[in-house]
Amino acid sequence: MNLKGTITSVLCAFFILLMLNGAASARVEIFDGDIEEGDGYQINNYVIDITDVFVEANTASYYVYEKNTKIETGLLDVNETAEFDFEGEGKLYLRLKSVHGGILPRATVDITLSNFDKSDVYSNKIVDGGHSKASYGIPDLKITKEIDRNTLNVGESVTVTVKATNVGNDVAKDVIFIDPKQEHFVLEATTYEETSVDEIDKGESFLVYIYELKAMEAGDFRLRPITATYKNSVGQSYESGSNTPAVSVEGAGASKANIETAMNVDSRVLERNEKISTTFILKNTGGTTAQAVRLEVQIPEGLEYVSGDEEFEVVGGKPRVYIETLQPGNDKEFGCTLRAKDMGSYTLTGKLSYEYQNGLDSENIKEYEEISVSGISVEKGKYDHLLELPVYVYVIPLLLLAGIGVHFYRKHREYKF
Is 12 or 406 the residue whose CB approaches another protein more closely?
406
The partner residues of 70 in beta bridges, in order of sequence, read 65
The least CB distance from residue 405 to another protein, in Å, is: 11
Kindly state the DSSP code that residue 117 receives in the 8-state scheme.
-
Question: For another protein, which is the closer residue by CB, 385 or 416?
Answer: 416
Q: Least distance to another protein from the beta carbon of 414, Å? A: 5
What is the closest distance, in whole angstroms, from the C-beta atom of residue 337 to another protein in the complex? 46
Query: Do strands 344-356 and 331-340 pair parallel, antiparallel, or not at all (unpaired)?
Result: unpaired
- DSSP-derived letter for residue 211 is E
Which residue, 4 or 412, is less far from another protein as judged by CB? Answer: 412
Smallest separation, CB 397 to another protein (Å): 18
Neighbour order of strands in the sheet with 303-308: 259-265, 275-284, 331-340, 303-308
Which residue, 70 or 407, has its beta carbon nearer to another protein? 407
The sheet with strand 269-271 has its strands ordered as 269-271, 365-379, 344-356, 290-298, 318-326, 312-315
**Smaller CB separation from another protein, 306 or 400:** 400
Residues found near another protein in the complex (CB under 8 A): 407-408, 411-417
Categorise residue 413: left if φ over 0, alpha if ψ from -120 to 50, beta otherwise: alpha
Between 392 and 415, whose beta carbon lies closer to another protein?
415
Cβ–Cβ < 8 Å for 230, 167: no
Of residues 392 and 417, the one with the C-beta less far from another protein: 417
Q: Which is nearer to another protein, 11 or 401 (CB)?
A: 401
**Contact predicate 337/277, CB 8 Å:** yes
Smallest gap, in angstroms, from Cβ of residue 393 to another protein? Answer: 25
Whole-number minimum distance, CB 408 to another protein, in Å?
6
Q: How far is CA 248 from CA 185, 190, 212, 226, in A?
A: 12, 21, 15, 19
**Side-chain half-sphere CA neighbours of 157 within 13 A:** 12
Chain centroid offset of residue 386 CA? 52
Q: Which residue stretches of 106-198 are H helix?
A: none
In one-letter notation, the amino acid at residue 322 is Y
Sheet of 59-66, strands arranged across: 69-77, 59-66, 46-54, 40-43, 124-127
Closer to another protein by CB, 118 or 411: give it. Answer: 411
Question: To the nearest whole angstrom, how small is the minimum distance from the Cβ of residue 395 to another protein?
Answer: 23
Nearest distance in Å: CB 404, another protein: 9
- Least CB distance to another protein at residue 269 (A): 48
Closest-CA residue to 122 (of 108, 133, 109, 135): 135
